Amino acid sequence: MTAALSAITLFKLVVPLVVIVVSNTAVNSCDFPILHVSAANGPMRPFVDASAKIKESGAKFVLVLLEDVAKVDDIELLKLVKLEVTEILERTGFAKGQFAFAECAHMCSPP
């Protein structure tokens, strides 16, 4: 029971006015897509293409996972990456309340 509780708590993300708890069921059914972006490199062309496809699929919410945040020494650079991602998502058709950022110190993608 403790392991299940800690796994759920681990994936708890606080978004303005919304609390999203990702359980095993939510992950398996993919209630919302997760877009990965390197905080050190910023969004690349595959990110732009993926965000357009996700919007076309009818997704109402997107989680943007900023990976390798530990490699970014300048907080202003991190803010710039978030601003660029925000502009891309808004151009794609997502409103400000339809996406949120989560930060991961290292690569969070499965191998």
pLDDT tens, residue by residue, 80-96:
999 999 999 999 999 98
* Positions of the chain with pLDDT under 50: 1-29, 111
What domains does the chain contain, in order, with CATH numbers? 32-103 (3.40.50.300)
Q: What pLDDT is recorded for position 9?
A: 35
Q: What pLDDT is recorded for position 100?
A: 92
* Whole-angstrom distance, CA of residue 53 vs CA of residue 39: 22
Q: What angle do CA 74, 85, 111 make, to 5 degrees?
A: 85
pLDDT tens, residue by residue, 29-44:
456 788 989 998 999 9
Which residues in 1-111 belong to E strands, given as ranges?
12-15, 18-21, 34-38, 62-67, 99-103
pTM of the model: 0.69
- Pick the closest to residue 15 from 80, 54, 62, 50 (CA basis): 62
